[in-house]
Amino acid sequence: METRIYLNPKENEIEKAAECVRAGGLCVFPTETVFGLGANALDENAAKKIYEAKGRPSDNPLIVHLSEPVEAELYAYTTDDYYRLAKAFMPGPLTVIMKARDVIPKTVTGGLDTVAVRVPSYSVAHELIRKAGLPIAAPSANISGRPSPTRVEHVIEDMNGRADIILGGENCEVGVESTIITLCAQRPTVLRPGYITLGQLKTVCPDTVVSEAVLGKYEGQALSPGMRYKHYAPKAKVIILDGTQEAFYNAVPKSGDVGILCFDTDEKLKTLRNAKTYGAAKDSNMQAKMLFECLRSFDKDDTIKRIYARMPSDEGVGLAVLNRLIRAAGFNVRKV
């Protein structure tokens, strides 16, 4: 298929994209987290095209994007907690899972009886959803398994020829996908960490807990199916070395096919061959913003076969960085 690309979409181009969504097409759009690959969330066939374009397993559900929090009434059985969370964090990088109403096709929910909703803050996303007059189902706009796209170049790499329209305009400020919280468990439960931290969620829903699946291998029933798959991976194999900078330096092979993923503040590691940095050791926000871009940049050098990565902090937004990196590494973490 021929993909129309609007790098800095004007109003009439966003209108064209909205028409495309109404007609059952696929449209990529920027959000504050990562780029999304969107389709009409009420149209089963349109949603199916998303899975095909990404090569995504059909039991991995999509997030339904809305222009206003109150629209969730139409698609989910909302609760008081939902409105408290919406008041505090929407529009913004938070996805809330509730029991779904029947209008949402099972293709969108991956067969579950729950639905995930989110209200993105970026203006292109907001305008697209508003002009379409529909909820837009959208996962990240990458080929399944690859790092999520945070710049329009990444989207063009993965989705040119697979989506009808690509909208640019803003690169992604947060850089990792939304925090996902389910309101369908005994206590509000974080299924995927993101920019909105556990501490922030607890100020609104004090009972909130973090699912064990966030840092562990997912083996239980499908609370959040996306957590089961190896994800976010560059072409080279990723190995996380958990230890001090000195121990990392001593443990890492010094051969040519090795890449190093470390922090701006790792003075000794930065000088190693093929070293890339993605923020200071204590700057989890910058790490989140740069992680996927940095992982993708290793793909440009196909002599690199193994990437040794430093272990990020598990606090605040660090938990989101660690969650993504552990999956990029297929859970390969070694103590050094």
Angle separating helix axes 11-22 and 123-132, nearest 10 degrees: 50
Q: At its nearest, how many Å lie between ligand AMP and the CB of residue 114?
A: 4
Q: Which is closer to ligand AMP, CB of 117 or CB of 260?
A: 117
Q: Cis bond leading into 91, ω under 30°? A: yes
Q: Which is closer to ligand AMP, CB of 100 or CB of 294?
A: 100
Binds 269: which of Mg ion, ligand AMP, none (CB < 5-8 Å by kind):
none
Burial 93-106 (b: 16+ CB within 10 A, else e): bbbbbbebeeebbe
Name the closest residue to Mg ion (Cβ): 140
Q: At its nearest, how many Å lie between ligand AMP and the CB of residue 63?
A: 5
**Interface contacts to ligand AMP, rule CB under 6 A:** 60-61, 63, 97, 109, 112, 114-116, 139-140, 177, 180, 191, 224-227
Binds 109: which of ligand AMP, Mg ion, none (CB < 5-8 Å by kind):
ligand AMP
Q: Which is closer to ligand AMP, CB of 142 or CB of 284?
A: 142
List Cα–Cα distances, 323 to 161, 193, 254, in angstroms: 31, 7, 27
Q: At its nearest, how many Å lie between Mg ion and the CB of residue 162?
A: 15
Q: Which is closer to Mg ion, CB of 180 or CB of 269?
A: 180
List Cα–Cα distances, 236 to 4, 98, 115, 272, in angstroms: 31, 37, 34, 17
Which tokens sit at 205? Answer: 């829903």
Alpha carbon distance 238, 124 (integer Å): 34
Task: For residue 323, give the nearest of 134, 180, 184 by alpha carbon.
Answer: 180
DSSP assigned state of 214:
G
Alpha carbon distance 182, 180 (integer Å): 7
Binds 225: which of ligand AMP, Mg ion, none (CB < 5-8 Å by kind):
ligand AMP
Q: Which is closer to ligand AMP, CB of 144 or CB of 200?
A: 144
Q: At its nearest, how many Å lie between ligand AMP and the CB of residue 263?
A: 25
Q: Which residue has the tokens 């925090």?
A: 179
Alpha-carbon radius of gyration of the chain? 19
Amino acid identity at 130: R
Q: At its nearest, how many Å lie between ligand AMP and the CB of residue 64?
A: 8
Q: Which is closer to ligand AMP, CB of 287 or CB of 323?
A: 323
Binds 63: which of Mg ion, ligand AMP, none (CB < 5-8 Å by kind):
ligand AMP
**Interface contacts to Mg ion, rule CB under 5 A:** 139-140
Q: Which is closer to ligand AMP, CB of 146 or CB of 276?
A: 146
Q: At its nearest, how many Å lie between Mg ion and the CB of residue 232?
A: 8
